[in-house]
A and B are shown apart, each in its own frame.
Chain A
Amino acid sequence: SWSWDRTSWQTYATNLSAFPAAQSEHLQQKMSENGALPLRGKVLTLDTMNANVKKVDYAVRGPIVQRAVQIEKELKEGVKKPFEEVIKANIGDAHAMGQRPITFFRQVMALCTYPQLLDDNKFPEDAKNRARRILQSCGGNSIGAYTTSQGIDCVRHDVANYIQRRDGGIPSDPDNIYLTTGASDGIVTILKLLTTGEGRTRTGVMISIPQYPLYSASIAELGAVQINYYLNEEKCWSLDISELQRSLQAAREHCNPCVLCIINPGNPTGQVQSRQCIEDVIRFAAKENLFLMADEVYQDNVYAEGCAFHSFKKVLFEMGPEYSSKVELASFHSTSKCYMGECGFRGGYMEVMNMDPEVKAQLTKLVSVRLCPPAPGQALMDLVVNSPQPGEPSYQTFMKERTAVLSALAEKAKLTEEILNTVPGISCNPVQGAMYSFPRITLPERSINEAKAKGQAPDMFYCMKLLEETGICLVPGSGFGQREGTYHFRMTILPPTDKLKIMLNKLKEFHQKFTQQYS
């Protein structure tokens, strides 16, 4: 007869899954015959779980945020702290920081949801017309109905028209447009589609360092190979083709690089790539047979003088048929950023160019699994690409609100760069676009050692201390990737200007204190 203590059983049970199936069944039978079927070990443990999941890390909502939430609870319970509130400058959430939604968009959403309001004369005619149009395209005239998996027809048409206008007339086919649940959904879907092979033929995905951790998390989850190419911090985070070349060559030794991801305007770095740079990247992708993924969710967030947003698609087409008919490109946009800040709606789209038709069919099948993106998000995306035009009743107010948001962001971008650069030990590149600053911090040797002793990344150690002492919640640079031996943090520029000033000054004080403390 057998006797097993629980832990032995669990180890044994997990090892069983490595046994040939028939043998394990035989063993189970034997054990039950002996009346010795022990306590049921869990089916799903860390050992039996999909190993890829263990590598998934999304710093933006990682341990520092968990601690911030805990501190907020403590503050509510009346625990005394050296500060009165936690400032969540970790996540690109504009509304959470007090930015107001665009009135027109919310009016149309209310009309779509509760069509009775179409009879209410407090709503402008242009809002009502948009609502009616959207509802007519929805099943059962309701925004609560399922939509087709690729997204509501009229919305995709409007997206195509927007892209065409934006790109100076270059045609866009609604069939190449997929509405998505935020841009993240589109990005992960394309990565899924492209990830294949085993060992040396496993898909390699090139991504900038620093990068937005959705990419590293998804690559880990899918078991693809992450290929880092470093942005040039000395040159305002610009992209060097020689660096792309170097990283690609090295990667070819151990995987099959076939995807090149680029975030423009950049997250977390805020750089806006020049037109020349974009052309160079396209040329590189063409030469090396890489599928280009252009994350352009911050396309309206461009502040620095001399900088402009150039869409990858536009540049691609202006480079002539040699490139425009060949290079495979997926570009992504979302309702979460720009001047809208509607993160909670989970609205987004992707446009795919030059995709093999059979692969595209598979893509269409893939998106059908999750049935459809949220209809309200699709409706909102429609409004973003089909916003009030000159002459329409809501135009004035719309433009006023849009301009106010973007100019406030531009002001805060400048302010952040200026103040941070006055701090000895902090150096901040110009925030050319997007919503973040990613300054480099010099950390005293002692603090680095203490962090390492704790098993913590030195910038995580720094950010944790910052949180505990000032209530400011940032994300350490280690969550985004950085050159070995350098340290950074990512801070959003979203808090209202007054609060931002206070925050930056507190940060300044803290850094000086920290440097002294660990000198």
Chain B
Amino acid sequence: MAKEVSECTVWEIRVMKLMGTPVGDRNNWSISNYFYLQVLAACFYPALLEDDSLPLDVKQRAESLLRECDGGSVGSYTDSSGITKIKHCVSQFITRRDGGVPSSPDNIFIKSGSQTIMLKLLIHSKDSCQTGVLIPVPTYASFIIALEEQGAAIIPYHLCEEQGWTLQVEELRKALHTGRKTCNPVALYICNPGNPTGHIQSRKSIEEVIRFAAEERLFILADEVYQSCVYGDDTEFYSYKKVLSEMGSTICSTVELASFNSVSKGFMGECGLRGGYMELVNLDPAVKEYASRLFSARSCPPVVGQIALDLMADPPKPGDPSFPTFSEVGEVFAELPGISCQPLKAGFFVFPCLHFSLKAIKWAKKRQMEPDMLYCLRLLEETGLHVRPGCEYGQRKDSHHIRFVKADDFHISLFKIKDAME
């Protein structure tokens, strides 16, 4: 897309300015909203720190992270539960998320993705009485395989599809009762937000589940990796930890909970980096010691994943050089007819709203397709640009959106959309 400055429209220049691209330098499309990619690249190859093209906050973050690595290299082993400074960062993130509920780095274990360690502690695969774990139906396949691998008995509880895949305690009770006939249930696995259902538990539902776990003496495994993928105005994510902390002193100090989060979902979507963490609540200190040992036998989590976690937990703030580009996006979209966008508060996904004419909506209905889905298909055909329609994510009735998947083509995407709309 190299063009001479004089050939760029005013609008295009505006976009370039937004992207932090020196206007007129057609060879340098350095995109300053790539904060985390730049930090990672600089951590890999510190010679980049001497580069002028990297923003100051990128350099500072990379330098501070490299200082935490032995020998200043991301190639060194780290502590088996993760770099201390990063665990601190994650605990602060959790505290902020939960509106001030304290979180200790000592209860945080950074790991590369799976929940196997907790399963290893909980499950006796040899005993005459098999250990049982309650799991939702539907659930994702690899977790089932993980349970089978550990030799756990699987106790399914059904989510209520008619009510949007809600979790009903009565169903839990029924499942537990059945389970107790054939095994020794010790843990309750919850996935919130749900995979594959996309359901987000209400606060009340979470309280009911916690109360149930308290009464029935179950260890809660709360898989919350989709917590940053919350769409729609009326839904809010409540962490199990937060809700637990606000429930009476007996419950909040006794119910054992392990919650899981990762950089694989949500705004970062950096699954390949394998960065994630587990926070333990009310775990017996003697058992925690053994959890640490299991971690140490696995040497350490990948350093790159740990860094990604740090960036997720502590993204650029207003005022940082890498921040402004997000919020100005709305203004750029304002220039495009028929499309508007809320200020981006976080993340790498742009979710602008499309305003279709009645004619367009009717036409889509005739083809039995959502208007935004049809728009995406047309866009793909005419421009080769691949975006996802809002109907896949959930949106208010009669509103239509598109979601950009590939942020590194962002500026090109904008040009193409503009061309397509004309």
* B274 within 8 A of partner (CB): yes
Q: Nearest A residue to B253 by beta-carbon distance?
A: A40
B272 touching A117, Cβ below 8 Å = no
Q: Please, what's the 1-or-0 string for A150-188, where 1 marks a CB less than 8 Å from any CB in chain B?
A: 000000000000000000000000000000011010000
Contact of B180 among A22, A119, A370 (CB under 8 A): A22
Per-residue contact bits, chain B 122-158, to A (CB 8 Å; 1 contact, 0 not):
1111100100000000000010011001000000000
Are B296 and A58 in contact, with the CB atoms below 8 A? yes
Please tell me if A46 contacts chain B, counting CB pairs below 8 Å: yes
CB-contact partner of A114 in B38, B78, B180, B214, under 8 A: B38
Q: How near does chain A come to B385, taking the closest CB pair, in angstroms?
A: 14
Per a CB cutoff under 8 Å, which of B44, B77, B214, B274 touches A93?
B77
Of chain A, the residue at the smallest CB distance from B73 is A95
B70 near A96 with CB under 8 A, answer yes
Contact partners of B42 in chain A: CB under 8 A: 110
**Complex contact A25–B180 (CB within 8 A):** yes
* CB-based nearest B residue for A18: B129
- Are A53 and B120 neighbours in the complex by a CB distance under 8 Å? yes
Given contacts A96-B70, A109-B45, A344-B73, contact A369 B129 (CB under 8 A): no
- Proximity string of chain A (103-135) to chain B, C-beta cutoff 8 Å, 1 when within and 0 when not: 000110111011111011010000000000000
Known: A115-B408, A218-B297. A95 touches B30 (CB 8 A): no
A119 (CB) vs chain B CBs: closest residue? B27
Q: Measured between C-beta atoms, what is the minimum distance from B47 to chain A in Å?
A: 8
Is A342 close to B, CB under 8 A? Answer: yes
Contact of B71 among A96, A147, A340 (CB under 8 A): A96
Does any Cβ of A come within 8 Å of B228's Cβ? no
- Once the chains bind, are A53 and B290 in contact (CB under 8 Å)? yes
Option from B34, B129, B273, B283 in Cβ contact (under 8 Å) with A375? B273
Stretch with Cβ within 8 A of A (4 or more), from B110-118, B192-200, B331-339 = B110-118
CB neighbours (8 Å) of B48 from chain A are 110, 117
- Indicate if the CB atoms of A343 and B76 lie closer than 8 Å: yes
CA distance A184 to B302 in the complex (A): 13
Q: What's the count of A-B pairs with C-beta under 8 Å?
A: 241
Interchain CB contact under 8 A, A113 and B40:
yes
* A58 and B293 in contact, given A96-B70, A371-B113 (Cβ under 8 angstroms): yes
Chain B residues, CB < 8 A from A369? 114, 116, 142, 145-146, 149
In the assembled complex, the Cα of A56 lies from the Cα of B250 at a distance in Å of 33
Give the total of A residues in contact with B, Cβ under 8 Å. 87
- The stretch among A137-145, A230-238, A270-278 that forms the contact with chain B is A137-145
B298 within 8 A of partner (CB)? yes
A519 interface hit (Cβ, 8 Å): no
Docked complex Cα distance between A106 and B48 (Å): 11
When the two chains form their complex, are residues A46 and B34 in contact, meaning their CB atoms are under 8 A apart?
A: no
In the complex, the answer to whether A43 meets B272 with C-beta atoms within 8 Å is no
Cβ-closest chain B residue relative to A218? B297
The interface residues of chain B lying within 8 Å CB-to-CB of A142 are 272
| A246 interface residue per 8 A CB criterion | no
Contact A44 B181 (CB under 8 A): no
Closest to A192 in B: B149
Enumerate chain A residues within 8 angstroms of B64, measured Cβ to Cβ: none
Specify which chain B residues have a CB less than 8 angstroms from the CB of A107 in the assembled complex: 45
How long is the Cα–Cα vector from A58 to B34 in the complex, in angstroms?
Answer: 40
Kindly provide the distance from the CB of B225 to the nearest chain A CB, expressed in whole angstroms. 11
Residue in chain B with minimal CB distance to A19: B129
A interface residues, Cβ below 8 angstroms from B: 13, 17-18, 21-22, 24-25, 39-46, 48-51, 53-54, 56-58, 61-62, 91, 93-99, 101, 106-107, 109-111, 113-117, 119-120, 122, 138-140, 142-147, 181-182, 184, 192, 198, 213-214, 217-218, 221, 223, 340-346, 365-366, 368-377
Q: What are 18 inter-chain pairs, A to B, with CB distance below 8 A?
A: A39-B250, A44-B283, A45-B286, A53-B294, A94-B75, A114-B34, A114-B38, A116-B408, A117-B48, A119-B27, A144-B271, A144-B273, A221-B294, A344-B74, A344-B300, A371-B271, A376-B44, A376-B273
